[in-house]
A and B are shown apart, each in its own frame.
Chain A
Amino acid sequence: MYVAVKGGETAILNAGTLLAQARRGDPAVSEVSVAQIAGQLRLGVARVMAEGSLYDEELAALALKQAAGDQVEAIFLLRAYRTTLPRFGYSQPLDTARMAVRRRISATFKELPGGQVLGPTYDYTQRLLDFSLLAGGEAPVVAEAAQPLPEHLPRGIDLLGEEGLIEPELPPPGDPAPADLSREPLSFPAGRATRLQNLARGDEGFLLALGYSTQRGYSHTHPFAGEIRMGEVALEVVPEELGFAIQIGEITVTECQMVNQFAGSSTTPPQFTRGYGLAFGEAERKTMAMALVDRALRCAELGEEPAAPAQQAEFVLSHSDNVEAGGFVQHLKLPHYVDFQSELELVRRMRAAIASAQPAQEQTA
């Protein structure tokens, strides 16, 4: 129970000013611009967009600036802002097969059509601090191959599909519109569309820990990274006044197709199963973790016993959102004076009761 407490107004106003000063830092150092954040801290911006569930680099960068780099706070700011905008409708489903690929790798096929394209990755860096960045350097000269990549790289995982070695992934009859968590509250059992939407905006740290738990034996899914691709996809919408799809721009996304083991049954010959991850921006770790958790959450449909935390949809989906989680954990900061007073009274009374009973016990002993 909370009680309205008055008297904090001046303190709150002054705390706000102090916060603004702390955010700005040393005025002798030039202020960071939103364009600099969007351009030079792009992975931080990508996470704010993915978990803020709003693709807008400038707004995400602004949120990061305002939050002094606190990602969860920036995500909260972006989520709050989106509620002020009208919803125009839904996009056409993204066609990731037609992605303008900047990175595409597979851990299952060395020689896949189009090859292993490393792109801008930290994978082969030595994780040594680069002190030259302290000085600020010149823009690097980037190598260009004589031939660009083909406009559309085939999916590595389709090689398995051609032989029927992996479960097919087809739209259900009629290709129905999916449930939308931003319009209807989460309820259980949650379908895969709901789960994927929840995971796509779920906290990266939470998903990473859960994904890791599946690898350490808390659910047995034996994953391989079938394909990871990152690049730009066309964003298409069908305006009601036109009646046909038009491209209104493009967005950067990362996609991870996890290939998992499956034993098969008397009716189904042995076949690999899938886990899927997709997120706004460059978000490789996030989409890999998402794909692991997606696969773990499919346990019921694949006839597996839901024994591990990552397999329990109610546990995973109810705790994945860092705006919700942050709000409930941090509400403990709000005044609970009356609650606590009553507990205090109770403890004092119990202690008094025990103390008065003590001498009697000693006598009878």
Chain B
Amino acid sequence: MNAPLLPGFAQPEDHAQRVFRLLLDALARPGRVQTLPFEFAAPAPLAPATGAAALALLDYETPVWLQSADSAPWLRFHAGCPLVDDPARARFALIDDAGAMPPLSAFAQGEPEYPDRSATLLIQVAGFAPHASTERGPTLRGPIWSGPGIADEVRLGVVGLPDGFWRDWQRNAGHFPLGVDLLLVAGAQVVGLPRTTTVREA
């Protein structure tokens, strides 16, 4: 007998709508940390905000690429989403180990007529460092984010991204309007990183 499945949203409609709103805000205001407004338990290795975002966004029409299959029964039951092995066929990808993730170019980039037919990646990271932390020294000063939805610019450090990630992100921007969009997740926190956002390492 399998371990019992965790439940989905306690209040399916209300919670799905609040999470959807939160994700909209995250993508409309890149670099600003959004926090899940209610307690939520997702099966390992998914963070609470990854699980909540998955239930709000995924359904039978969204093929999903899972980096680790542990949450597959839970996702299949609650979201009814098809799971695919090829990252290029996925509309969403759930990544729990950013250090071992494929390059961004491995995922669907959209088509010239339909740039929206691209993948959205939910990438779990260790945490965010919104303010330049002087006590930790210059390494955590944090890169500078700019673009639509950001007044002037904002500094936000992301802890737990692999070396070379921001160079990969620059390559992603080079294909605009094609490319992928990211939602970075740490626990109950989410930061949006759409393809229109430029990130400069300070």
Contact = CB atoms under 8 A, between A and B. Distances in A.
Interface string B165-194: 000000000000000000000000000000
A90 B60 CA distance: 9
B200 interface: no
A88 interface: yes
A87 B77 contact: no
A127 B81 CA distance: 54
Interface in A146-184: 183
Interface residues of B, number: 7
B131 interface: no
Contacts of A305: none
B60 A87 contact: yes
Secondary structure of the B side of the interface?
A: loop
Interface string A230-243: 00000000001100
A89 interface: yes
Interface residues of A, number: 8
Contacts of B77: 240-241
Interface string B1-38: 00000000000000000000000000000000000000
A162 B78 CA distance: 46
B52 to A, nearest CB: 17
Contact of B76 (A86, A89, A90, A240): A240
A180 B58 CA distance: 19
Interface string B36-75: 0000000000000000000000011100000000000000
A183 B76 CA distance: 22
A240 to B, nearest CB: 4
A241 B60 CA distance: 12
B165 to A, nearest CB: 33
Nearest to A90: B60
Interface string B92-111: 00000000000000000000
B80 interface: yes
Contacts of B61: 183
Nearest to B5: A241
Contacts of B81: 240
Contacts of A241: 76-77
A240 B77 CA distance: 6
Contacts of A88: 60, 80
Contacts of A87: 59-60
Contacts of A90: 60
Contacts of A240: 60, 76-77, 80-81
16 contacts: A86-B59, A87-B59, A87-B60, A88-B60, A88-B80, A89-B60, A89-B80, A90-B60, A183-B61, A240-B60, A240-B76, A240-B77, A240-B80, A240-B81, A241-B76, A241-B77
Given A88-B80, A240-B60, A241-B76, 10 more contacts: A87-B59, A87-B60, A88-B60, A89-B60, A89-B80, A183-B61, A240-B76, A240-B77, A240-B81, A241-B77
Interface of A: 86-90, 183, 240-241
